[in-house]
């Protein structure tokens, strides 16, 4: 969800990115800070609980329909471009546990595919460790 908040002199944009990381805090925050230095209109910021947002503020005099479109496009692009890597840095253990839980129960792994590098090595002797959604996975 993205909020546009008009003030007396500026327009603020705020979009939730992800909750605070579970682990690997230094690498997680470094990744976001390095990305922020190359971004237009918004940057990564933390709230009081440590959750991460994309935020920005522009003067009302600079606001046009095209500029709002550009700003919202940046929020979408920056979120999409950084999300998977941020999750891999800050939530790797949780992703591994989720992967193992789904494999054990035969649940779909489709939305975990971007995190395949974190997948625990399958046991070749355990037929339940194959991925039913993967056409290359053994039956």
Q: Which residue has the tokens 């941020």?
A: 86
What distances in angstroms separate CA 79 from CA 48, 50, 76, 97, 119, one per listed residue?
20, 17, 5, 24, 23
Residues 47 and 113 in one domain: no
Domain contains 134: no
Over residues 40-60, the pLDDT tens digits come to 999 999 999 999 999 999 999
Over residues 107-120, the pLDDT tens digits come to 999 999 999 999 87
Domain contains 17: yes
Domain contains 46: yes
Number of domains in the chain: 2
pTM of the entire structure?
0.81
């Amino acid at each position: 969800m993205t909020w546009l908040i008009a003030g007396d002199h500026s327009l603020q944009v705020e979009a939730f990115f992800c909750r605070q990381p579970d682990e690997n805090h230094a690498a997680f925050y470094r990744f976001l800070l390095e990305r922020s230095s190359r971004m237009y209109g918004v940057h990564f910021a933390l709230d009081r609980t440590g959750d991460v947002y994309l935020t920005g503020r522009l003067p009302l005099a600079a606001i046009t329909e095209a500029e709002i479109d550009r700003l919202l496009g940046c929020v979408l692009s920056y979120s999409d471009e950084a999300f998977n890597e941020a999750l891999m840095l800050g939530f790797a253990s949780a992703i591994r546990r989720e992967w193992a839980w789904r494999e054990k129960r035969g649940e779909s792994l489709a939305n975990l595919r971007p995190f395949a590098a974190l997948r625990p090595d399958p046991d070749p002797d355990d037929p339940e460790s194959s991925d039913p959604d993967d056409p290359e996975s053994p039956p």
